[in-house]
Structure 1
């Protein structure tokens, strides 16, 4: 995937204005320290990430459909696996819960990145 596409930069957690700076102080999807800590401004283009108080609470509305897109097909796949391999629903439920906990941090980070990319538009290089 090209590094200048919006979808790439959402999942790479890059600044929506310049596609260069990191959105979070600890880059990456799977981190365990300061998971939602963001710098006040982009180090590359100086874009303000503290847009207004309560701005990132809207990312909850973005994370909900992401969870539905991921877990509704997983539930249907669980029923198919249960019938095909005679696995108990309790063991499948335990696996689904572990997957839910494992994907919690990436979903929260991606939903914040999506919110910023919906709000701030790409300007390109030379935007200082």
Structure 2
């Protein structure tokens, strides 16, 4: 298992890079709203979109992931089967469509982890959202 506190933990599990508790995405990868992100982390309060159009840079990460994926698929097909060109074309298009939600979310997780690091002490400062706040009992006079 990947240790909490590492960038890989946050990236692969799509967790908040600062506290690694909150989810980066609201819905699953293959739901209709696969790209929906909460405005901020419910645990540490980190605003995910650091500035307007922050995640535009994730396009470059996504492109690199797609190139690596398609190159690997091409080499594997070429070495194992040596199919006709049509298989490469339709296979690439099919693979891109099927894996788009996964690469989209992964590229955003990688991109936000470039800029924000894990802070263990942040959870000690914040109140956990599922635990009620403790108040002093009110005494009657």
Give TM-score, length-normalised by structure 2.
0.78
* 1:10 aligned residue: 11
Q: CA RMSD in A?
A: 1.7
CA distance in 1, matches of 2:110, 2:37: 15
TM-aligned CA deviation for residue 3 of structure 1: 4.2
After superposition, residues 73-84 of structure 1 pair within 5 angstroms as: 73-83=72-82
Structure 1 residues 16 and 75: alpha-carbon distance in aligned structure 2, compared to 1, 3 A threshold: same
Unaligned runs of 5+ in 1: none
> Secondary structure of 1:121's match?
coil
1:96 is matched with which residue?
92
SS state at 1:126 partner: helix
Q: CA deviation at 1:98?
A: 1.5
Q: Is the 8 A contact 2:22 2:43 kept in 1?
A: yes
Structure showing greater radius of gyration is 2
**2:130 is matched with which residue?**
none
Alpha-carbon distance between aligned partners in 2 of 1:112 and 1:60, rounded to the nearest angstrom? 8
Gaps of 5+ in 2: 127-141
Matched, 1:71 2:67: no
Alignment coverage as a number of residue pairs: 123
CA contact (8 A) 1:18 1:127 kept: no
* 8 Å CA contact 2:49, 2:55 repeated in 1: no
Partner of 2:124, secondary structure, is: coil
Name the counterpart of 1:56.
55
User: 2: CA distance between counterparts of 1:9 and 1:62?
Assistant: 16
Partners of 1:12 and 1:63 lie apart in 2 by 17
1:10, 1:127 → 2: CA distance? 24
Q: Which residue of 1 aligns with 2:136?
A: none
Displacement of 1:94 in angstroms is 2.3
